[in-house]
Structure 1
Amino acid sequence: MTVYAIIGGTGLTQLDGLTITAALHLDTPYGAPSAPVLRGEYAGREVLFLARHGHPHRIPPHQVNYRANLWALRESGAKAIIAVNAVGGIQAAMGTGHFCLPHQIIDYTSGRAHTFYEGELEHVTHVDFSHPYDAELREKLAGALVAEGCAFSAQGVYGCTQGPRLETVAEIARMERDGCDIVGMTGMPEAVLARELALPYACLALVVNPAAGKSNVLITMAAIERALDEGMGRVKAVLARVLAG
């Protein structure tokens, strides 16, 4: 049976309903992960959980130790990863509260440790990243979203920015021209590191605000937090369906 690991982002620093059997404090060749890896049972199934930004939420996107996080999950027995991401909506369909299962990603980040293949290597390794998200896992998430009656897009392009600041109107306009549907700060290098470790990986993205220039009102953390509060119950229901399937 596949052991799923859930990486919780902003708004999901803990998984209500998870019966914890162990909190794994792991050291890795890349340092400490953001938080202990929690092993337990959720929806009747063994699951691993890791808070991407720590618990409490304290690590900004550009300082997350993505390599340590992915390595720790693999060492803990993860066979597939569901990443939960709070994002901004660029395309009109991506309104607040909408879900997106991205099928592609564009990386606008810089300076992040983005690969395991560096240093004194025996040989150079290139991984195929043509299709960054696992199709089978995306289909399972889509089925769960349908069953929960959630409005969602079965595909989309995730634009990953450096953060921690939000984007300018001009940057979002550029990203829209590039074909991005949603914008976030944590999609990379997480996705490619999972690929390097041969872990199937999919993103469950919840839109929590219109991106810059896509609304007549200022983006505020208060509004984002309200959207997170309203959406995380549905996120957890979707995860429970996938795990129980």
Structure 2
Amino acid sequence: MQADIAIIGGTGVYDPELLIDTKEELLNTKYGCVNVIHGSYANKKVAFIARHGKEHHTPPHKVNYRANIEAIHKINAKKILATAAVGSLRLDYRPGDFVILDQFVDFTKRRNYTFFDGDDGVAHIDLTNPYCPKLRDRLIQASQQLNLNFHKRGTYICTEGPRFETPAEISLYANWNCDVVGMTNVPEVILAREKELCYATVAMVTNYGAGISQHPLTHKEVSEVMANNIKGIRELFFYMIENEDLIRDCNCQYAAAELGKF
């Protein structure tokens, strides 16, 4: 089955509620099997992947990021809208706020970061703008149109997890001028660029980081904030799908051109 646009749902986003005529497909890739929900909205074919699985059974350090991105590439979807639950490193990035990410810092340790392991050549992908600038611009416009509480930019630092960060780590990341912290956006954003896909992430602030927060963090707190704000994420994404054309006017589609593989 083919798709025009893909959604990758993170913590709290486990189903594509507004899609019609949904069908599930277990898609085989060279990196593993991926459960894809196909449906349609506003006359566009949409594919949905729950990053952690339907029941949130896969921790962030064990998500098969390569299989997920390969599956999206295989069904010919060229644009990806992703969600991510994040902790805030700044008092003005409040729980419940959305952040349209524009940069990341990778602090993970043992993940599969690339499709280019040498068998298919070597590629050094440019990540000056790691998130598709055109898709980001349209997310910003849509967020303004819908009167959402959001930030136009944010630097995301990705940690290995699955534990939460210490107050010392949070202080360090804040001093590095990072804005939010999470456990899943790397290597997903890198792999999407290697496959020459347009990719953007809307992060939802679910809590303040340790040392900023006045109480110990729990997964329940993260899930509850996501649940309370999931309507806004869905509204934003489906507004985007309805108004997004399928023409690509960015450089994402040429990211691996010098390798000549795609």
Give the shorter-chain TM-score range: over 0.9
Q: Is the 8 A contact 1:13 1:54 kept in 2?
A: yes
| 1:229 counterpart residue number | 227
| 2:200 counterpart residue number | 202
| 1:151 counterpart residue number | 149
One-letter amino acid matched to 1:4: I
| 1:4 counterpart residue number | 5
Q: Size of the alignment, in residue pairs?
A: 241
DSSP 3-state at the match of 2:29: coil
Structure 2 CA distance, aligned partners of 1:136 and 1:3? 16
Structure 2 CA distance, aligned partners of 1:221 and 1:25? 28
Structure 2 CA distance, aligned partners of 1:42 and 1:232? 18
DSSP 3-state at the match of 1:160: strand
Residues 99-139 of structure 1, C-alpha deviation per residue, up to 9 Å, x if partnerless? 10111000000110110000434x32111112100111011
Q: 1:128-139 alignment to 2 at 5 Å?
A: 128-139=126-137
One-letter amino acid matched to 2:60: P
1:24, CA displacement in angstroms? Answer: 2.0
Structure 2 CA distance, aligned partners of 1:222 and 1:167? 16
| 1:190 counterpart residue number | 188
TM-score by length of 2: 0.89
Q: Is 1:141 the equivalent of 2:130? A: no
Residues 215-243 of structure 1, C-alpha deviation per residue, up to 9 Å, x if partnerless? 21221223222211111010000011101
One-letter amino acid matched to 1:124: V
Q: Is the 8 A contact 2:84 2:202 kept in 1?
A: yes
Identity of aligned residues (%): 39
Q: Is the 8 A contact 1:148 1:238 kept in 2?
A: yes
Q: Is 1:124 the equivalent of 2:125? A: no
TM-score by length of 1: 0.95
Runs of 5+ unmatched residues, structure 1: none
Structure 2 CA distance, aligned partners of 1:103 and 1:28? 29
| 1:162 counterpart residue number | 160
Structure 2 CA distance, aligned partners of 1:125 and 1:62? 24
One-letter amino acid matched to 2:163: R
Residues 172-211 of structure 1, C-alpha deviation per residue, up to 9 Å, x if partnerless? 1111111110000001000000000000110010001111
| 2:31 counterpart residue number | 30
Task: Decide which of 230, 241, 246 is 1:243's aligned counterpart.
Answer: 241
Structure 1 runs of 4+ aligned residues shifted over 6 Å read none
Runs of 5+ unmatched residues, structure 2: 244-262
1:91, CA displacement in angstroms? Answer: 1.3
Structure 1 CA distance, aligned partners of 2:189 and 2:16? 21
